[in-house]
Amino acid sequence: MNGNKIGIFDSGLGGLIIARSLISAMPDFSFTYLGDTLHVPYGPRSYESIYGFAESCIDYLFRNEDCRIVIIACNTATIAALRKLQQVYLPANFPDRRILGIVIPTLEYVAEGGFKNIGLLATTGTINSGVYEQELAKLNPDIKIYPVAAPLLVPLIENDGDKFAPPIIAEYLKNFDGRNIDSIILGCTHYPHYKDLIRTCTPGIEIISQDEIIAEKLADYLMRHPEIERDLSRDGARKFIATDITESYLTVAKNIFGNEITISHADIP
């Protein structure tokens, strides 16, 4: 039996921002969100570890949650695991299903937007990978990109630390001074949580927030792949699961998602 839900996978709870955007744009579709809160954050971990976590979680979404397509709502997991998942895992296990990431759709938006000097605010792992620079060069080698690691933002968001964010964000943004930046990519799906604050700090600079891009990109993908779209359920079901649940996680989930949210536990080997 083919899966009929859209799965959303993230290393923690930041991907709830992407989930909120997708659900808002596609309210008739059925979604299951899985956050690997047991292993968050992914950023400091090896690619081998990240791949193992990602494969286990996505396999769970396919086998236990009947997902037809899974969106990896995590830049680090996209970078560390997507290609192998698409080229090795899917053909061997679910050749009729799909796994999509968020880096390429973001860069497609950038390449089409007429930008020249782009700042990249992301986790240390994403910055060290160089993937944004490599992939953007394939799309438009004339665009310059200036990467800045912002490793404290995910822990702030995951631990209800919003009150500490303004001076930390201001310090990170100083790294773009003198670069003639016309836009800044928020290269972590947690970071849209602070997009309004970042916009206030950077007047005249476009803030490229992945939650404002991915829904349109997914809709376009489904339009180009009707064989997938017609399999998707339209009962508007919503399910949120996580590999570890604490009171603080539940508080943060509500804060990030913006509404009341019920999260159940997923026991994933």
Give just the sign of the alpha carbon dihedral 188, 243, 159, 252. positive
What is the 8-class DSSP label of residue 31? E
Is 67 catalytic? The answer is no
Q: Which residues pair with 184 in a beta bridge?
A: 119, 207
Residue 85 is given by DSSP the state I
What tokens appear for 196 in the block? Answer: 């309004």
| Separation between Cα atoms, residue 76 and residue 53, nearest integer Å | 12
Name the residue type at position 267: D
C-alpha span between 93 and 115 (Å, rounded): 40
Strand partners of residue 144: 117
Residue 224 has, within 13 A of its CA and on its CB side, a CA count of: 6
Tell me whether residue 57 is one of the annotated catalytic residues.
no
Angle, helices 16-25 vs 247-257, to 10°: value is: 40
Residues 53, 76 contacting (CB under 8 angstroms): no
Integer angstrom CA distances of residue 143 from 13, 134, 154, 183, 235: 32, 11, 27, 11, 43
Give the start-end residues of each E strand in 11-158.
31-35, 67-72, 98-100, 117-122, 144-149
| Helix (H), strand (E) at residue 120 | strand 117-122
| Helix (H), strand (E) at residue 135 | helix 131-139
Residues with catalytic function? 74, 188
